[in-house]
Amino acid sequence: MSEQIVAIGLEGIVVAETDLSLVDGINGHLVYRNHWARDLAINHTFEEVAHLLWFGHLPSAEECKALEDKLAAQRELPAHVKAAIDAIPADVDMMSVLRSAVSLLGESGHSWPPTIDQVISVTAKMPTIVAYRFARLTGKQPIEPNPALKHTANYLYMLQGKEPVAAHVRALDAYLILTQEHGMNASTFAARVVSSTRSDLISAITAAIGALKGPLHGGAPSEVTEMVEAIGTKENAEPWLRHKLENGERLMGFGHRVYKTIDPRATALRVVASQLSADDPWFDLATHIEKVALELLDEYKPGRKLHTNVEFFAAAVMRAVGLKDEMFTPTFAISRVVGWSAHVLEQAANNRIIRPQSNYTGSMPE
């Protein structure tokens, strides 16, 4: 057997061509279909950017309203999905519940190839699943979706039981836009692999949720909040961070597998978070910690190019809008479903089953 090159983890291997996004880690660029993601996050809404990824262009006012209406009309959960969520024990984590509930959405009308109506339906229902489960866990009556509210505002409304303030909606909208799509990451690859077998959209999204659930992929904004709260004061920042680095421990919210310069998503979220929380003592402490951490990382790990990543300022936004730590990764999922589904549509349009090989390293039989 001829020797083959092995790329553990498929690192550096190109498995598809896409016009959905460009992730340029060397130059710190994130592009969604010919638009800078940071500009989209600051100047557009969740629905507008979803339209861009699904249909290939930013919508007109009429197109945007039509998509908003379609999403609003699809938010209700079927009775059997609610019953299944109710039956899941309280100690089962939110991502596992989301994965199981989404898998139950494919009972009919989800054959291959996927359709945009299927995509809109699952995107609309995922926030309702998360909010329904959260209400049950906190002993509250689940709040039904409000069709008068847009996607992000409705999510906060279902979680908090009141119409959210505009600044909170804007901040969370920016975060959800910045996490809608990010190239051929693990969960997106999982979705495309499943779809390449001509399995249905729901199976592909369920697989993607399973991949995002893993701690190496789903991000750790909650660990950033734990770090900031453990430090407590500006005076404690340098000794606390220095102690971590001297013990070989990782500083949460810094460094990224792809970006070797400033994460463009962090840059955009810094702008949004500063507007939202400029007078917030927690945010003031977090920005001080960021400054000290970057100085110490340069001292202890010169040349490593460890910069602030999206999780750091995601933590600031999540805390400001009142989301609990356990809601961080599920909230990530309800945005990333836009990118997952866009990739599934793209895969289906030019499908070939994804079937890599492996090198056998065992012994041969006698």
What CATH number is given to the structural domain containing 201?
A: 1.10.580.10
| Residue 277: pLDDT over 70 | no
What local confidence, expressed as pLDDT, does residue 287 receive? Answer: 83
Same domain, 304 and 182: no
Domain range enclosing 286: 221-321
Same domain, 287 and 160: no
Global pTM reads 0.89
Same domain, 177 and 233: no
Q: Judge contact between 101 and 84, C-beta under 8 A.
A: yes
Q: Please, which pLDDT band fits residue 1 given cuts at 50, 70 and 90?
A: very low
Same domain, 76 and 194: yes
| Residue 97: pLDDT over 80 | yes
Is residue 246 situated within a structural domain?
A: yes
The DSSP call for residue 126 is H
Same domain, 163 and 199: yes
| Residue 37: pLDDT over 60 | yes
Give me the active site residues, please: 256, 311
Same domain, 196 and 226: no
Is residue 105 situated within a structural domain?
A: yes
Same domain, 209 and 65: yes
- State mean pLDDT over 225-236: 91
| Residue 25: pLDDT over 90 | no
Is residue 357 situated within a structural domain?
A: no
What local confidence, expressed as pLDDT, does residue 268 receive? Answer: 84
Task: Identify which has the larger pLDDT, 169 or 325.
Answer: 169
Same domain, 193 and 304: no
Compute the mean pLDDT over every residue in the chain, rounded to the nearest whole number: 90
Instruction: Give the total number of structural domains in the chain.
Output: 2
Q: Please, which pLDDT band fits residue 259 given cuts at 50, 70 and 90?
A: low
CA pair distance 313, 185, nearest whole angstrom: 20
Same domain, 274 and 309: yes
Same domain, 208 and 257: no
Same domain, 308 and 172: no
Same domain, 175 and 256: no
